[in-house]
Each structure stands twice: as structure tokens, then as C-alpha cells.
Amino acid sequence: MKDLENNRIEDYPSISQSEVCPYIPGLNPFPALCFTDDEVNWQTHKAPYTDLANQSRYSTYSDGNDGYFFYKTVEALSSEPISDPVGSYFGKLLDLPVIPTGLMVSTNHTGRHILGVVSQVVSWTGLAADDDVPDEKILNRMNKSALVGDGILRAWMRDHDHRWSHVMIVTGSDSTQYYYIIDHGRAFEDAQSRWNEKALLDSGVGECLWETQCAFEVAMGYVRKIQKIPDWEIATKPIEIALSIQKYNIPQKQWYLRRAYEMSSFLIKSKRTLEHDIKNWFGRT
């Protein structure tokens, strides 16, 4: 649990046009986490229990200091317990204001292990409500470079699920407003039982980018950061998470290992084509 704590509000970028490229001090790449009922007092932390259908359940626990832990269980054979922590990990490598997210393993009333994700969130106030219409006053004041970077991250991972309600706003003790970005769980086009690497590589990146002014130079700066991530690190992270799943009583748990290998292969190939894909979207080829 300590890996989730001590992320101060001030570690996120402020909403300021003066910052060209926000830097997030003090936040290290977030590791994959495995929690069981033996390691965490679920009653205290209000972690969710689910029925045998593994229907999604949400729960939160306030740490009493700057934020909440957010727990979500997912359906069986969902890629989210791998893709969401992977997005969080690489988002931190790119110095993006993404929330720390890790794998969660809980137990239902039958003793079967249930997969999910756990995140630390600083605020529940989104830039948009359920209608996904952003607060224009805040949006116009925001430094957009982190949104550009998150769009490039999502383009790399083929994550089309970016919504203004995924941009969270929080006010610090000095009344300065900060923002951070949540939810990369539907990366790889939310691939479930079917996997088609060629179709993913051929899919467009434009739908992954945020609907905001996107400077070509800023976008290419994030592309180059991704290009500098070693292939071994890209390959390791999804597989590391999937391997940790194997020791639990999870139905069809080898599926997650196979999917992790597929994710690793795709991310390495997508890194090779990302510069061309982004330049093509900007009409710079």
C-alpha cells in the first residue's frame, strides 16, 4: 500500500499557460501490485466483493490526507488488469500526470480470486460530468501539453477511450488548481477474446488524441520519448503483471499471460511506426 501513498497534490501539473511541458517531481514509475485479503484489511479499505459473474464493482477508501484509493473489479478475461497498470507505468516514464494504478487481486465469498485494478485518486471532480462536456473556463486556462502527451501515449497503445470526465481537477491548499488524467484500461481497443495485431497497427491514431489544439513539435517530443524506451522494458512490464497473476486461483489464468505477450509484441512494433503514424495524422509525411 505504501507505493500508492504520499503522492501530493502539488506533484501534479498546475493549470497554467506559463508551463510549456509540465514536470511531475517525486513520482516514480508505479509497479504492478498484487493485493490479497491476507495482505490488506479489506474490511477497513472497503475493497469490493463480487458475485460469481464477476460483474464490475467500485469502491473507494479515503486515506484522510489528499485523496482516495479507488478499487475496481473487472469481468473475467478482461485486459484491463494488465493494460491499465501498463498505461500508468509508461505514462510516468513520459512525465505525464497519470494516476498510480496497479493490479488488484481480491477474494469473493467462495474463495475464488477476482482480478481488478486499484488507483490512488486525488479528487473526484472531473473536467466534465457524465455528458462529457468540458468546463470551458477551466479548459481554456489549462496547459494542454500534458493532454497532448497523453494522446500520444494512447495512440501508441491504441486507446480510444479518452473522455473529458477522465481529466480530474483538484484545488491545492494555496487555491492553485491542478489536474491529472485517469483510465487507460481500454487500451489495445479494449481487445478481449480476439486479438489482431495487424488490424491494431493499421488502425488510425487520430481517435486516440484529445480534441484540443495539438502542437506538432510538442507531439513529436513525446513520440521521441517513447522511442527512447528500451524494447526490453516495453516487453517486460505487461509480462511481469501477467506472471504475478499465475500464482492465484484465477480461471483461465494462462490467457492473461498470452495476452501480455501479445501486448508486448504490439507495443514494440507500434513504437517503430508511431513517428510515421503521428506525422501522417498531422499531414507532415
Closest CA to 186 of 216, 166, 214, 167: 166
Classified as helix, coil or strand, 80 is helix
**104 φ/ψ angles, rounded to the nearest 5 degrees:** -120, 135
pLDDT of residue 9: 44
As to burial, measured by CB atoms within 10 angstroms (0-12 exposed, 13-18 middle, 19+ buried), residue 232 is exposed
pLDDT of residue 64: 53
pLDDT of residue 149: 94
167 forms beta bridges with: 181
487520430: which residue's cell? 206
- Per-residue pLDDT tens over the stretch 182-206: 889 989 975 556 788 988 999 889 8
For residue 219, CA distances in Å to 206, 230, 279 come to: 12, 20, 9
pLDDT of residue 36: 36
Q: Quick one: CA torsion of 209, 130, 144, 226, rounded to 10 degrees?
A: -40
pLDDT of residue 16: 42
Region at 256 (left for phi over 0; alpha for psi -120 to 50; beta for the rest): alpha
Ranges of residues in the chain with a pLDDT under 50 are 1-10, 12-56, 66
Q: Say what the pTM is.
A: 0.81
Sign for the CA dihedral angle at 148, 153, 156, 161 comes to negative
Q: What residue type is assigned to position 160 of the chain?
A: H
Closest CA to 118 of 39, 60, 170: 60
- Per-residue pLDDT tens over the stretch 55-72: 445 556 555 554 566 777
Report the alpha-carbon distance of residue 76 to residue 73 in Å, rounded: 9
Q: Within 13 Å and on the Cβ side, how many CA atoms surround 19?
A: 17
pLDDT of residue 213: 74
Q: What residue type is assigned to position 45 of the chain?
A: H
pLDDT of residue 59: 59
